[in-house]
C-alpha cells in the first residue's frame, strides 16, 4: 500500500494527517513539474540546451487534491484506478513512485513508462494504476473492462474510475455506466467536477440535473460530495467502496471541486471571472484540512513538518530526474504497440 494510506486503526487526527500528506505530496509534485516545464512552449520542438526539462504544457490538478487523496485512501494496491489527462494526483495517491513519475515527465529512462509516455500516459501497473489518458472519457471503458475482468476472475479487486465533468457529455460515459450496471461490476465511478472543460464552464453545456442524476437514471446509486473536503471525500468513498465489496454493484460519486489553474500550465484562464477564482481559493483543500487538523488538536509544527517532508521528497524526485539518462535509441520500439509496420524500422 502507498505509504500515505491511513492505517486502519489510526486516530482521527492521524487519519486526517495521512490524507493531508497525500495532498501535500501532490501539490509539491505539481508545483515542481510546472516549474520544470517553464519555457516549454518557446522551446517546443527545438533541440536546444535551453529547452525546458519537461516538454509541453501540463494539465495540473492544483486545488483538486482532496479527490485523489480521499478516493485512493480507500483502495488497496491490488485495486485498480483509471485516470484522465489531469492524472498526476491520482497516480501519486494510488502509490506510484514520485521519482519515477518525475523521470517520466522529463522523458528519462527511469520513468514509469521508461520515458516514452510523458504526463498524459503515465501508467504503473505494479500499483494498479492503469493509465492516464489524453482522450476525454477514454478511461471509462478501460475501467469497465478491468472491473469485468476482476468479476470473471472472482477477485475482490475494486476499480475506481476518475473522470472530469466534461467526460459526462461523451458517449463512453453512458456506455460504460450501462455495461457496469448490467453486469453489476465492482466499480466506483468518480466524477471530479472542477467546473471547467478546457476553456468552457461545463454547466453551460450540460443538460439536465448533472452527473449524479444521470448516473441514477442508469440505476447507479449516486452521492454528491464537497470535493475540496478530503474527509468528506474519504468518508463517502469508504462507504461506497464497502458497498461495492459486499456485492452492491457499481456506485457513483460526484465530487465538486474547482480547477484553480488554467486548462494547461500555459493557459492564463483569462476567460474566467477573477472573483470566482478568489472565492475558490478560500476553499483550498489543504487550507481546509489544516483547519480541521488544528481543530483536532494537531500542532502547527506537525503540519508544517509534513509540508517539509513532501517538499524534500519532490526535490529528491527532481534530482533523480535530472540525473537519469534519456532512453537508449535502441529501445525506441520496445514496450510500445507492435503495429506490424516493420518498414518503419
From the list ligand TPP, Mg ion, none, pick the one residue 167 interacts with, judged by a Cβ distance below 5 to 8 Å according to partner type: ligand TPP
Between 70 and 166, whose beta carbon lies closer to Mg ion?
Answer: 166
From the list Mg ion, ligand TPP, none, pick the one residue 172 interacts with, judged by a Cβ distance below 5 to 8 Å according to partner type: none
Give the nearest residue (CB) to Mg ion: 164
CA-based Rg of the chain, rounded to a whole angstrom? 20
From the list ligand TPP, Mg ion, none, pick the one residue 136 interacts with, judged by a Cβ distance below 5 to 8 Å according to partner type: ligand TPP
- Report how many residues bind ligand TPP under the rule CB under 6 A: 17
The residues, ordered by sequence, that sit 6+ positions from 85 with a Cβ below 8 Å of its Cβ are 59, 120, 132, 133, 134, 136
The reply to whether 30 sits near ligand TPP by the rule CB under 6 A is no
The reply to whether 166 sits near ligand TPP by the rule CB under 6 A is yes
The reply to whether 164 sits near Mg ion by the rule CB under 5 A is yes
The answer to whether 320 and 110 have CB atoms below 8 angstroms apart is yes
The residues, ordered by sequence, that sit 6+ positions from 205 with a Cβ below 8 Å of its Cβ are 169, 197
What residues from 26 to 85 belong to the interface with Mg ion (CB under 5 A)?
none
What residues from 67 to 126 belong to the interface with ligand TPP (CB under 6 A)?
84-86
Q: How far apart are CA 193 and CA 82, in angstroms?
A: 16
Q: Helix (H) and strand (E) counts for the chain? A: 12, 7
The reply to whether 197 sits near ligand TPP by the rule CB under 6 A is yes
The reply to whether 63 sits near ligand TPP by the rule CB under 6 A is no
Between 63 and 327, whose beta carbon lies closer to ligand TPP?
Answer: 63
The reply to whether 194 sits near Mg ion by the rule CB under 5 A is yes
DSSP code string of 200-249: EEGGGG--TT-HHHHHHHTT--EEEEETT-HHHHHHHHHHHHHHHHTT--
The reply to whether 194 sits near ligand TPP by the rule CB under 6 A is yes
What percent of the chain is helix, strand and coil (3-state, nearest 5)? 50, 10, 40
Binding site for ligand TPP (CB under 6 A): 84-86, 134-136, 164-167, 194, 196-198, 202, 259, 263
Amino acid at each position: 500500500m502507498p505509504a500515505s494510506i491511513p492505517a486502519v486503526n489510526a486516530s482521527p487526527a492521524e487519519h486526517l494527517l495521512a490524507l493531508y500528506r497525500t495532498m501535500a505530496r501532490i501539490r509539491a509534485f505539481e508545483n515542481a513539474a510546472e516549474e520544470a516545464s517553464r519555457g516549454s512552449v518557446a522551446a517546443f520542438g527545438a533541440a536546444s540546451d535551453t529547452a525546458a526539462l519537461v516538454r509541453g504544457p501540463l494539465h495540473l490538478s492544483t486545488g483538486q487534491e482532496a479527490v485523489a487523496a480521499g478516493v485512493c485512501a480507500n483502495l488497496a494496491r491490488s485495486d485498480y484506478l483509471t485516470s484522465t489527462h489531469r492524472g498526476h494526483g491520482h497516480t501519486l495517491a494510488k502509490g506510484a513512485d514520485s521519482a519515477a513519475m518525475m523521470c517520466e515527465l522529463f522523458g528519462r529512462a527511469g520513468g514509469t513508462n521508461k520515458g516514452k509516455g510523458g504526463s498524459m500516459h503515465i501508467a504503473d501497473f505494479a500499483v494498479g494504476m492503469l493509465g492516464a489518458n489524453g482522450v476525454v472519457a477514454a478511461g471509462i471503458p478501460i475501467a469497465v473492462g478491468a472491473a469485468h475482468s476482476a468479476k470473471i476472475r472472482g477477485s475482490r479487486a475494486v476499480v475506481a474510475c476518475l473522470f472530469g465533468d466534461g467526460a459526462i457529455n461523451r458517449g463512453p460515459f453512458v456506455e460504460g455506466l450501462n455495461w457496469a450496471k448490467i453486469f453489476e461490476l465492482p466499480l466506483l465511478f468518480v466524477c471530479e467536477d472542477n467546473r471547467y472543460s478546457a476553456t468552457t464552464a461545463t454547466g453551460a453545456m450540460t443538460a439536465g440535473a448533472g452527473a449524479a442524476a444521470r448516473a441514477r437514471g442508469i440505476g447507479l446509486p449516486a452521492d454528491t460530495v464537497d470535493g475540496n473536503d478530503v474527509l468528506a471525500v474519504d468518508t463517502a468513498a469508504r462507504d461506497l467502496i464497502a458497498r461495492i465489496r459486499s456485492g452492491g454493484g457499481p456506485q457513483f460519486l460526484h465530487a465538486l471541486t474547482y480547477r484553480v489553474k488554467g486548462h494547461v500550465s500555459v493557459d492564463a484562464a483569462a476567460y474566467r471571472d477573477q472573483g470566482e477564482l478568489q472565492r475558490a481559493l478560500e476553499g483550498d483543500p489543504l487550507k481546509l484540512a489544516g483547519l480541521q487538523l488544528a481543530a483536532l488538536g494537531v500542532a502547527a509544527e506537525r503540519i508544517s513538518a509534513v509540508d517539509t517532508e513532501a517538499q524534500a521528497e519532490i526535490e529528491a524526485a527532481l534530482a533523480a530526474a535530472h540525473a537519469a539518462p534519456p532512453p537508449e535509441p535502441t529501445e525506441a520500439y520496445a514496450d510500445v504497440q507492435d503495429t506490424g509496420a516493420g518498414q518503419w524500422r
